[in-house]
Amino acid sequence: MSLRPFVFTPGSAPLLVSIPHAGTEVPDWLASRLSQSARPLPDTDWLVPELYDFLGELGASVIAATQSRYVVDVNRPHTDESLYPGQITTGLFPTETFTGEPVWSVPLEQEEKERIKVEVWHPYHERLRSELDRLVAEHGFACLWEAHSIAPRLPRLFEGTLPDLNLGTNAGAACPASVAARVHEVAAGDGRYTTVLNGRFKGGFITRHFGQPQEGILAFQLEIAQSAYMADGSWYGEGGAKAPPPRLDSARAEMLRPLLRRMMQTYLSAAADHLKSPR
């Protein structure tokens, strides 16, 4: 039986939201080989679809991976070169968790990797490509929004505490500086969240690969610290698998959602303004 690579909902606006790391499915033939520390899937972008529960009201198309990033990370190139040379990061088929624990008791074999790429990685990217092309054909442009989250403290990956909202545009290559600045101004102007543009997280493979402003496709990644919307201590981090089950903090989520909506609406209007202006 083939693996289910994603769920997809088409929309009417020139906005495609990609959620590549919230999947929690692991095929039966792999689940028993997960290490004890990896079985809770600690590096999942927990509850991101629930946080972005307003996307239908914006008319956004949404694609969300169903398989865990431990099965395959669809936000990495299929050739598996590092996105952050010289820094610790995870690859196409992660072998270590964010805290450095082994993912597998029995590693994936090359034949298994090839099957997973055919059944999961390629379909996800083919759907991204076809939807972005559709949006450009219908609207003249497309805005891709990469929705991510991560534990606020992961000493192995970054120093100190991560800002609440980490915006990335591949250092401007995936989205014009004028557009990114307007979105960042909305985030920073709220005053309740710490923000950074193109800091530790500049955008993964999807942002870098599909963000082609010259072709009318802009790409933007938002990495949210899980402390901004989850219940205290319910995310995995220094404690690894010792953390309790991930839980949404309803008050925090309700406070953050209107800001996320304003950021996305600003992204759309700024992109339209940029593409209409003479260059």
User: What CATH number should be reported for the domain holding residue 246?
Assistant: 3.40.630.40
pLDDT of residue 20: 98
pLDDT of residue 245: 84
pLDDT of residue 2: 83
The continuous run of DSSP H or E covering 224 comes out as strand 217-225
Residue 50 burial class via C-beta count within 10 angstroms: exposed 0-12, middle 13-18, buried 19 and up: exposed
- Helix axes of 177-189 and 250-276: crossing angle, nearest 10 degrees: 150
- The residue segments making up the domain with residue 125 are 6-276
Tokens in use for 96? 């270590």
**DSSP assignment, residue 104?**
B
In a domain, 213, yes or no: yes
pLDDT of residue 4: 95
In a domain, 1, yes or no: no
pLDDT of residue 96: 95
Closest CA to 168 of 247, 72, 84, 243: 84
Question: Looking at the 3D structure of the chain, how many domains does it have?
Answer: 1
**CA angle, corner 179, sides to 174 and 184, nearest 5?**
100
Q: What is the reported pTM?
A: 0.95
Query: What are the angstrom distances between the C-alpha of 181 and each of 18, 142, 241, 246, 266?
Result: 21, 18, 38, 32, 10
| Spans of the chain below 70 pLDDT | 1, 80-88, 238-244, 278-279
pLDDT of residue 87: 67
Q: Which of helix, strand or coil describes residue 130?
A: helix
In a domain, 188, yes or no: yes
